Structure 1
Amino acid sequence: MIGEAIIEAEFAETHAGLLAGRVQDLAFLAVPVEAGLRVLTGWRLRAAMAAWTKGDFSGADGIVTDESAFRAHVEEIAQHRRELRDLGRWSEKADAQTPWGPAQSSEIYSEGVVFHSTASHGGFFLDPARNRGMQSALRNDDGWYEEDCEWSKVATAFIELFTAYERRLAEKTLRNSLPDAWEAYYGHVLDPAKSFEKERRQFLADHAADWVVIAASRSKDHQHMIEVGAKLGGVRDNSATRCFLVPDEEYAPGRHGFVIDLDRHEELRKG
């Protein structure tokens, strides 16, 4: 449209030698870490990009491999913003009641597809006609889809209402958090290594008879040791908890939990 602002990615090097990026009011900073570059995020930074410091940033978008990947990430956000403008969503004040309390605001994606935000949580509501249009593998009978994981079902079903960036995140979220829905929709069985939740289930099945740590703290009485509490199978219930000492250089909870070796890890007897 004539007079419409151009949405593009900008890049600069800061005085500290860090690569910075900006898309409209969004700010990004690439900070070296062991695994690559952590992408810090900020909003409405007033200083010139060269003057940005790590202290200006309050969020993070994860870790990328190198500067090329950082640039690609920022460019993707720029494309996302351009697509959002073209989708034409709009917000309105709403008095809708949601499973998470009264809505404070609502974003209309299309007729019958509304995202409600509350003081504590939020999610999509699909009206009966839209919900009937959902594939059975993705459909929630009540039409509500919470914002942490189930939003990905809506984005998967109605791709025309979402940006390419959102669709990519939706596939990743569905695969990692709701693998049963992913498999039913795509018609493939996931390798547990490709899904956090499937991998977690496999871990719990493999270690159902092992003592898995559920809590840990540095020992005050044993130097260079971690005191841990463990439950059988890592199940957080009212069953017995056993306490052990684990060398601090060895203790790493990993993705799904730390497994006690009864032959090596000393049990702490309380009382």
Structure 2
Amino acid sequence: MRRPIAQWTCADIFGSEGTVADEAGFRAHVEAIAVHLNQRASLGRKEARLRVSTPWGMSQSATIYGTGIVFHSTASHGGFKLDRGRNAALNPALRIKGGWYEEDGDWARVAAGYPDLFTDREKAQADRTLRDWEPDAWEAVHDRTLSAEESFVRDRQRFECEHANDWVVISAVRSDLCPGFVETVATIGGSRDQVAKCRFLVPEGEYSAGAHGFVIDAARHQAM
């Protein structure tokens, strides 16, 4: 992109990673992507075509990050394959038997174990992924406990502990019977197993699913 940012249009955009608040946020995002791309180019990753069977199908293309560390793409999914030596060298808390690390979450284990092969942006994303979804592994590597504010899973565990005996909504729909209300189905603790369910009316302006579920106030929300 050689033209000034002010002259960019939607036709110049390849993809989307979210929403920024203002022009300053957009410029900061663009700068971060530029740094990421420059760092990635300096890492010397090599593209290849390898006839390899993966857990997600036959490899259609591969990126060699380093000796014994290869990312495979297939028609449906992808992930890293670490050879025996590379996999054995990983921290046991990060290691997956067999050396296959899928691209949605497990890739973060590879980035945490071999940070020199990843950009700053990728390492930050990997750290966030492990904090949120694999807190046990993150804590074992860093030798400290994550708080609920630092991890989605730890925050969910806190929520479940605090509301283990409360009615928590598991489904909701705008009410046709009572305009201005949401009809909800709730279970104790938000369990989705075969347990007792109860329906409650919640004012539309009050209802929000939130990160882990809406907690019913039995004293105020009318049971149906």
Please report the TM-score for the alignment, with normalisation by the length of structure 2.
0.90
Asked whether 1:113 is paired with 2:106, we answer no
Change (3 A) 1:131 1:267: same
Match of 2:6 in 1: 13
Q: CA deviation at 1:135?
A: 1.1
Q: Report the alpha carbon displacement of residue 117 of structure 1 after superposing the two structures with TM.
A: 1.9
* 2-structure distance, mates of 1:58, 1:208: 45
Aligned partner (choices 116, 138, 146) of residue 94 of structure 2: 138
Amino acid at match of 1:158: Y
TM-score w.r.t. the length of structure 1 is: 0.76
After TM superposition, give the deviation of residue 256 of structure 1 in Å: 1.0
What residue in structure 2 maps to residue 230 of structure 1?
A: 186
Quote how far apart the aligned CAs of 1:156 are. 0.9
Partner of 1:250: 206
Distance 1:252 1:132 in 2: 46
User: What CA distance in whole angstroms lies between the structure 1 residues aligned with 2:164 and 2:223?
Assistant: 19
Q: Provide the rounded CA distance (Å) in 2 between the counterparts of 1:66 and 1:211.
A: 40
Deviations 1:79-113 (A, max 9, x none): 11111112121222333222233333222111211
The alpha-carbon deviation at position 262 of structure 1 amounts to 1.4
Q: Displacement of 1:58 after TM fit?
A: 8.0
Q: Deviations over 1:203-230 (max 9, x none)?
A: 1121111121111111111101111122
The one of the two structures with greater contact order (alpha-carbon pairs below 8 A, sep at least 6) is 2
Q: Which runs of 5+ in 1 are unaligned?
A: 1-7, 15-48
Q: Provide Cα deviations, 1:177-218, integer angstroms capped at 9, x if missing partner.
A: 111111110111111111111101111121111121111111
Q: Which residue pairs with 2:123 in the alignment? A: 167
Aligned partner of 2:161 in structure 1 is 205
CA-atom RMSD, angstroms? 2.2
Q: Share of identical aligned residues, percent?
A: 47
Matched-pair contact (CA < 8 Å) for 1:9–1:74: no
In 2 relative to 1, CA 86–218 (structure 1 residues): closer, same or farther, beyond 3 Å? same
Instruction: Give, in angstroms, the shift of residue 60 of structure 1.
Output: 3.2
Q: Deviations over 1:45-95 (max 9, x none)?
A: xxxx1xx25x98685323445433332221111111111112121222333
**CA separation in 2, counterparts of 1:187 and 1:100?**
33
Which residue, out of 178, 196, 207, partners 2:134?
A: 178
Equivalence for 2:173: 217
- Aligned position for 1:157: 113
| In 2, Cα distance between equivalents of 1:13 and 1:56 | 12
Aligned partner of 1:80 among 36, 59, 65: 36
Q: Whose helix proportion is higher, 1 or 2?
A: 2
Q: 1:196 aligns with which of 145, 152, 158?
A: 152
Match of 1:148 among 81, 90, 104: 104
Q: Distance in 1 between matches of 2:128 and 2:4?
A: 27
Aligned in 2, Cα 1:117/1:231: closer, same or farther, shift over 3 Å? farther
Counting strand residues as a fraction of each chain, which structure ranks higher? 1
1:135-155 Cα deviation digits (max 9, x unpaired): 112111221212112111100
Tell me the SS of whatever aligns to 1:228: strand
Could you tell me which runs of 5 or more consecutive residues in structure 2 were left unpaired when the two chains were aligned: none
Deviations 1:14-33 (A, max 9, x none): 6xxxxxxxxxxxxxxxxxxx
